[in-house]
Amino acid sequence: MNVVRDGAAARRLFDVGLAVLIGAVGVAEVWVPFPSVLGDGSKSLSTVVVVLVSTVLVFRRTWPLGTAVVALSVWPLVFTITPVLVLFWGQFVPMAVAVFSVARHGRGRKPGYGALAGAAALLFMDLRVEVLQDISEMVFHWMVFTIAWSFGWGLRAMEQRAKASTQRAIDVEGAAAERTLAAIVEERTRIARELHDVVAHAVSVMVVQAGAAEQVVGEDPDYVRKALAAIRSTGTGALAETRRAVAMLRENDESGELAPQPGVASLPALVENARVGGLDASLVVEGDERPLPVGLDLAAYRIVQESLTNVRRHASASSVDVLLRYGEHDVEIEVRDNGRGADSANSASDGNGLIGMRERAALYGGRLETATAAGSGFTVRAILPVAS
């Protein structure tokens, strides 16, 4: 953004300098006077015309058509009312610059309208200004205006082609990146399916080996040892495949690589961390505590963690209560705050928090429920079945 602003300021400064330079030379042309001065007229009125025509060039980029119309019409209009001096530097040069600018910076049909305005000004000179009716003068004026307009149009066309080429390059690069990403996703999906097959096969083999060993544990110790060795070998191979796939699929985050995954045993620390953040947070555990399957244990922790995050971000709550209830066949999690209720629910639904929690609950055959009312807080309740 700074580069863009600096470029615009530099262009505006250039245009101001150009207008001042042309105006100064034009005024000098009137009062010195230069040999290029033709005709008779008031020097003071001619000076006013020079200043007006040169000043309008400051806006030749921002309002190219308006600048061209003013620069090309002021001198003919004044000359129609009363004779003024015919000037090269003070009148013809700024008019040519205006013709160039409307072709260079005009958009749509504006370059064409500018060309018509320039032709009208030249026709006025040819028909009304006697000192300019020499054939050489006419050819010179038309040639200069034609070259100025054509040069401006050519630069405009080159700029448009350059922009189009740049945009095409960006589009091609973006399409290539999308194709690459799609290929990566497709390949990772294939790898995930293959990993599923490998792990499922390995677990099936381990279950069969364990069942066979259980049947002969007291009769054939050698067979049991071989079965256990096969189970260990199969499990080690499946675990290695899983690690390789997860290492490839996971994000590049090395922090905590060796840390164990959290579970419900880490909820007190999580709630304490919420207290440090300013919430009056409490944790209540009901029922007979018992170890949970590893995946379910992690899912329960993540649901509480995401719920507390939503409370801090959206609820404007001062307190939050976390309930963990061990049932006979399930685990129930409830997180209730005293915040804005329905308003905070709408805010939370804008993100992926509730979606992620529902997905975690559904993964283990559970369900996630929410309850809210304006001004009465927001409640998240998850029920996760525990396989016997």
Q: Give the chain's residues under pLDDT 50.
A: 252, 255-258, 350-351
Backbone angles phi, psi at 323, to 5 degrees: -120, 130
pLDDT tens for each residue of 14-31: 999 999 999 999 999 999
Across the chain, mean pLDDT equals 84
Backbone φ, ψ for residue 229 (5° rounding)? -65, -40
Q: Taking each helix axis from N to C terminus, what angle separates 353-363 and 294-310, rounded to the nearest 10 degrees? A: 160
Is 308 in contact with 335 (CB distance < 8 Å)? Answer: yes
pLDDT for 350: 47
- Supply the angle between the helices 43-55 and 2-31 in degrees, to the nearest 10: 170
Q: Where are the domains of the chain?
A: 2-133, 187-249, 264-385
Q: What is the pLDDT of residue 151?
A: 94
DSSP 386: -
* Per-residue pLDDT at 2: 56
- What's the CA gap between 29 and 90, in Å, rounded? 7
pLDDT for residue 124: 92
The whole-angstrom separation of Cα 240 and Cα 176 is: 33
Question: In whole angstroms, what is the distance from residue 300 CA to residue 306 CA?
Answer: 10
pLDDT at position 256 is: 46
Output the six-digit token pair for 200.
């499922």
pTM: 0.51
Spatial CA neighbour of 284 closest among 331, 337, 325:
325
Model confidence pLDDT, tens digit, residues 301-325: 989 998 888 888 776 788 899 999 9
Task: Look at residues 91, 89, 110 and name the one whose alpha carbon lies nearest to residue 101.
Answer: 110
DSSP state for residue 62 in the 8-state scheme: T
How far apart (Å, rounded) are the C-alpha atoms in residues 96 and 101? Answer: 9
**Fold exhibited by the domain 264-385:** Heat Shock Protein 90 (3.30.565)
Per residue, what are the HEC states of the chain?
Answer: CHHHHHHHHHHHHHHHHHHHHHHHHHHHHHHCCCCCCECCCCHHHHHHHHHHHHHHHHHCCCCHHHHHHHHHHHHHHHHHHCCCCECHHHHHHHHHHHHHHHHHHCCCCHHHHHHHHHHHHHHHHHHHCHHHCCHHHHHHHHHHHHHHHHHHHHHHHHHHHHHHHHHHHHHHHHHHHHHHHHHHHHHHHHHHHHHHHHHHHHHHHHHHHHHHHHHCCCCCHHHHHHHHHHHHHHHHHHHHHHHHHHHHHCCCCCCCCCCCCCCHHHHHHHHHHHHHCCCEEEEEEECCCCCCCHHHHHHHHHHHHHHHHHHHHHHCCCEEEEEEEECCCEEEEEEEECCCCHHHHHHHHCCCHHHHHHHHHHHCCCEEEEEECCCCCEEEEEEEECCC
pLDDT score for 278: 73
Task: Give CA–CA dist 276/254, Å, rounded.
Answer: 26
Q: Which of 85, 95, 88, 84 is nearest to 54 (CA)?
A: 95
